[in-house]
Amino acid sequence: SIENENYSQAVEDIQLCIKKVKSLPKDSRIIAEAHYQLGVAQGFHAKFDEAVGSLNSAISIIKERMKNIKAGSKKWPSKEEMTEITELEALVPEIEEKIADTKDMKKEAEAKTKEEATTHLATGKRHLLVSDFPAAVTSLAQACELLSAHYGETAKECAESYFYYGKSLLELSRMESGVLGNALEGVPEEGDDADNSSKIEDPAKMTEYEKQEVEEKVGEAMEKNFQSLCERKDEEKDVTEDEDMEGGDSQEEVDDYQDDAMDKDVSMVREPSNLQLAWEILELAKIVYTKQVESGEGIKIEIEERLCSTILTLGEVSIENENYSQAVEDIQLCIKKVKSLPKDSRIIAEAHYQLGVAQGFHAKYDMAVGSLKSNKYDVAVGSLKSAICIIKMRMKRIKADAKSSKKSEITELEALIPEIEEKIADTKDMKKEAEAKTKEGANGITSSSTEGNSKNVSS
């Protein structure tokens, strides 16, 4: 299997060999040979640490065998024993050389994996920047796969790829939702224009003669259908009897087909959506960054900012998923964690904006379940206004700093303010609509109560 480059099979076969030679002496040459070949196979299979362990085991067994040969001789080893000791001594440097080669292979593999993953990460970020979300998801998924397989799922090397992969999945989900919304635009809802589009004549407008004629035609059609059904059942019965005589293979084929269809249905049901996958990947990024913050690895302010960006994006996922209470909770946690950052940081402004959006929708949800808290709209407006204040503070600082390299950022920030103001206006409109609906509901309850009382009095 090693010569055939089927390294996984080679590892499996040699491990089985080692299990089966337990009855042999522990210093048996075949056991040493098995550990050596296992190390070689593991090295080619990219299990470098395991390979080094197996090769070291081979050396230990050989040294143990030489020691036992020397100890077993009463005076001086025999010619045959001396020959074996010489052979064994020559094997040790060869295996040590193989260990060194394996370590070099590990370094080369790490460099190659890192280079390939870095390329995929950079490509994915570039695709994300130009809003090519499907391509971004593909590249970043490959980066995550390479890094997690090499370093481990919760390794710090994976965090950045997880974050951008989760963000790309979120944007892809938004894009797909937008495409679906555009596709359904203009399609009438069920029941719209039903009366106008009906091609069936109103029975109330038919004459007695027309009704009698229709009844006769319907009766004839039903009788023909009944006869046809009886004939078909007889034919099916004859075919079934013939099949039973020939054998039950057909039924087995049908059962197999149904089982396959059910398996496919189950696999389709279990396939997570892009939004669900985004949440899972971002949660992984959050775990990794949290571990880094707690252990004090890296530059603290940078890691904290990345952690906050991840939590904020999780909040955005919850907004898309219409889980507004969770979104509010996540984003408020993000705002608490960014206290160490400059007060005019863009991520803080973004957090307040997203918090305002989530609070606005959350108040709308409360209205839907009949427990409107209209002050939540005011809180939402407050969060959005905070975002504007932070942006203005940032622009002021950049303008005051003559040496600042962020002068071009001012144009971006100025363009954000009208968008946030528009969102504030929308939130205020949502509040008015909610209050109007609440008032209408209260009036409806009052009027129905009054009618009920008047009926009781009259009775």
pLDDT at 368: 40
How far is 289 from 259, CA to CA, in rounded Å?
Answer: 44
419 three-state secondary structure: helix
Report the alpha-carbon distance of residue 300 to residue 213 in Å, rounded.
88
Q: In which band, very low, low, confident or very high, does the pLDDT at 216 lie, cut at 50, 70 and 90?
A: low
Mean pLDDT is lowest, of 100-114, 141-155, 272-286, 330-344, for: 330-344
Which pLDDT does position 404 carry in this prediction? Answer: 65
pLDDT in tens, 332-369: 999 888 877 888 888 999 999 998 888 888 875 444 44
Confidence (pLDDT) at 454: 42
Q: Between these two residues, 439 and 118, which has the higher pLDDT value? A: 118
Average pLDDT, the chain: 80
Structure tokens at 148: 């997690």
Q: What is the pLDDT of residue 376?
A: 65
Query: What is each CA distance from 116 to 113, 119, 139, 140, 265, in whole angstroms?
Result: 5, 5, 11, 11, 36
Percentage of the chain beyond pLDDT 90 is 38
Q: What is the pLDDT of residues 50-87, one digit of tens each?
A: 999 999 999 999 999 988 888 876 667 788 888 888 99
Mean pLDDT of 411-417: 90
> Does 192 or 100 have the greater pLDDT score?
100
Task: Give 384-402 as a DSSP string.
Answer: HHHHHHHHHHHHHHHHH-T
Where does the pLDDT of residue 282 fall: very low under 50, low under 70, confident under 90, or very high at 90 and above?
Answer: very high
What confidence category does residue 378 fall into, taking pLDDT thresholds of 50, 70 and 90? confident
The CA-to-CA distance between both ends of the chain, in Å, stands at: 95
User: In 3-state terms, what secondary structure has residue 327?
Assistant: helix
Q: How confident is the model at residue 448 (pLDDT cuts 50, 70, 90)?
A: low
Please check the confidence at residue 416 and state whether its pLDDT lies above 70: yes
Structure tokens at 250: 């057909």
Q: What amino acid is encoded at 135 in this protein?
A: A
| Structure confidence at residue 227 (pLDDT) | 67
| Residue labelled with tokens 């197999």 | 256
Q: Are 124 and 168 in contact (CB under 8 A)?
A: yes
pTM, whole model, 2 decimals? 0.63
Q: What 3-state DSSP class applies to 235? A: helix
Residue 75 per-residue DSSP state: S
pLDDT at 456 over 90: no
Q: What values do phi and psi take at 190, rounded to 5? A: -60, 130
Token look-up 């555009």 returns 182
| Higher per-residue confidence, 236 vs 308 | 308
Q: Which of 356, 342, 358, 274 is nearest to 308 (CA)?
A: 342
The more confident residue out of 405 and 250 is 405
* Tokens, residue 335: 């705002």
Q: Helix or strand or coil: residue 268? A: helix
pLDDT at 255 over 70: no
Q: What is the pLDDT averaged over residues 320-326?
A: 91
**Residue with more model confidence, 435 or 323:** 323
Average the pLDDT over each of 144-148, 210-214, 339-343 and give the range with the smallest value.
Answer: 210-214
Q: Above 90 in pLDDT, residue 280?
A: yes
pLDDT in tens, 9-43: 999 999 999 988 878 898 899 999 999 999 999 99
User: Both tokens of residue 97?
Assistant: 């050389």
- Indicate the residue type of 79: K
| Rounded Cα–Cα distance for residues 174 and 128 (Å) | 13
Is residue 282 within 8 A of residue 164, CB to CB? The reply is: no
What pLDDT is stored for residue 82 in this prediction? 87
The identity of residue 125, as a single letter, is: K
Quote the tokens at residue 442: 């209260």
Phi, psi torsion values for 2, nearest 5 degrees: -65, -45
DSSP H helical ranges for 185-273 = 194-197, 208-246, 249-270
The pLDDT of residue 360: 85
